[in-house]
Structure 1
């Protein structure tokens, strides 16, 4: 382990920061913090808002709701715009809502909602928010490094992410990009902050350090994964994830299962699938883990027991997907599943 106040760590921080900016596709500041993805969401809120500020939370699932809960916990006045789980944000409805809420300061958006397997059209959503002259705060934890993402072109003011998804690194690091507009909001922000204070983080970043003891070992892993992503080429990374998403969705349809997310907005990092009638979710997923060494996640919140979620982000060999789909079919056959139809709703 190296000294986090020494020159070796300074080189590590500088390398990581330059790599992150490439993946974020931004000229804005990108800060590396030690904490989970939820920590980056909290940092995004407390560094740009004040108690009493009106915030519009646009939610399509569990993690969109979490964004709103964090803002409420710090005293923001949260207005909620929700869309049916399994569908994406409708930019036209968002525009109509913002037109009626001139006092909204910021809009909270989840780019890729893993609880439902849906990806929002952030480019269109961002244009609506930019035209309304509102601060755009984005949770990109499960999309950045896997799905097309253009921080600057899409007008994203704050983008929160974490190391444990498509970055292919262990949990423990949070990333936060800050636009000039976000820094202006930071100067006015009165929400309490200490550990997550991005002003402190920026002052230390300028000299190749972090304000607090960082997760050095994970940062070394991140340096390697960033090189892998950049060497592969980001467009190739996006294409690879699309191919994985297409393969899993086709495989699920061929088994005779029904996809949960609308086909038009289905995520390329996680596929959500209805649990068939007559099949007990916990028993099926438990059997897959025990009998086939295949781990598939269940539903969250109101979707607990109703859907399963197949992850395919980061480095996932094609043969792993083939084996997982084959095991899923075998597990369903063992459970007595009789397919009645195939195909997703669009």
Structure 2
């Protein structure tokens, strides 16, 4: 947030600030509340990519001064990829309405106008099957209760992080209590990180994502957003133990499971 505040003060011509809520490739989350308070004091708008964070962590778009929030269906909202969601603030609508850039599908005004009133409908053919799937997913969220959904994600995240740390592994980013979607772990010295994902998938049927770009072979990622429960964490951590052992790491077998179990037993939420 401090870097953003300095940049805005140095250049009053800045029109927008773009930031991820939860960065899937690293597991790092940003302090949207603090950033929103800074941007709200300027003419700039705040645009938040909440694709992997929405539904896993609380995001108060109005209270935190988020002007445009963009999300997708394929993460914590538990639907196959193909749907995009956008929330637009009054401040952002003024910018959108004055925009003269050419656009067709990517036209917020057309969507707003067509989807208002008694005869509301999408301006173009929607992904109907995915919208039906989203209705089913939303019903699951309602049945569980939104606050319980957030707490479940917190517990799963804490269990995953406690588990890998019990193995002597190091998290890639800060151990943030709101980093509920992904746990990114540094590959221990002496282990070929490029083999972790393939071995986990081919031998144990568990998908552990690797690092991307310059982080390839240096981290592996443990996803726990969406339709996940305690058994997924247990299986995932057991797989991490077995894979690392096969790749030469001195694994204290069972340590990750014991750490995760302790987190689960302390949880007030039924997983």
Q: 2:74 aligns with which of 137, 161, 164?
A: 164
**CA offsets, 1:59-113, max 9 Å, x none?**
xxxxxxxxxxxxxxxxxxxxxxxxxxxxxxxx22221221111111111111111
2:164, 2:178 → 1: CA distance? Answer: 13
Aligned to 1:107: 17
Q: Secondary structure at the match of 1:257?
A: coil
Q: Secondary structure at the match of 1:230?
A: helix
Q: 2:42 aligns with which of 132, 135, 142?
A: 132
Q: 1:238 aligns with which of 150, 164, 183?
A: 150
Are the aligned partners of 2:154 and 2:178 in contact in 1 as well (CA < 8 Å)?
no
Aligned to 2:134: 222
Task: Tell me the TM-score normalised to structure 1 length.
Answer: 0.70
Aligned to 1:299: 211
**CA offsets, 1:205-263, max 9 Å, x none?**
11331111111001001111112212322211111110010000011011221111112
Q: Secondary structure at the match of 1:164?
A: coil
1:192, 1:128 → 2: CA distance? Answer: 30
How many residue pairs match? The answer is 251
- Backbone CA RMSD of aligned residues: 1.6
Q: 1:145 aligns with which of 55, 59, 62?
A: 55
**CA offsets, 1:285-320, max 9 Å, x none?**
111101100101011111111101110001112111
Are the aligned partners of 2:5 and 2:38 in contact in 1 as well (CA < 8 Å)?
yes
Query: Quick one: structure 1 residues 224 and 266, their matched pair in 2 at CA, closer, same or farther if it must change by over 3 Å?
Result: closer
2:178, 2:26 → 1: CA distance? Answer: 9
Are the aligned partners of 1:118 and 1:265 in contact in 2 as well (CA < 8 Å)?
no
Q: Which moved more, 1:231-240 or 1:171-180?
A: 231-240
Structure 1 residues 306-345: aligned runs within 5 Å: 306-338=218-250
2:187, 2:37 → 1: CA distance? Answer: 36
Q: 1:279 aligns with which of 164, 167, 191?
A: 191
Are the aligned partners of 2:245 and 2:251 in contact in 1 as well (CA < 8 Å)?
no
2:251, 2:101 → 1: CA distance? Answer: 53
2:122, 2:71 → 1: CA distance? Answer: 17
Q: 1:205 aligns with which of 101, 106, 115?
A: 115
1:131, 1:104 → 2: CA distance? Answer: 13
2:7, 2:251 → 1: CA distance? Answer: 42
1:281, 1:266 → 2: CA distance? Answer: 26
Q: Which has the higher contact order (CA 8 A, sep 6+)?
A: 1
Aligned to 2:259: none
Structure 1: any 5+ residue segments left out of the alignment? 1-90
Are the aligned partners of 2:28 and 2:173 in contact in 1 as well (CA < 8 Å)?
yes
Deviation at 1:266, TM superposition (A): 6.5
Q: Secondary structure at the match of 1:131?
A: coil
Deviation at 1:265, TM superposition (A): 6.6
2:213, 2:120 → 1: CA distance? Answer: 41
Q: Secondary structure at the match of 2:25?
A: coil
Structure 2: any 5+ residue segments left out of the alignment? 256-271
1:268 aligns with 2:203: no
Task: Tell me the TM-score normalised to structure 2 length.
Answer: 0.89
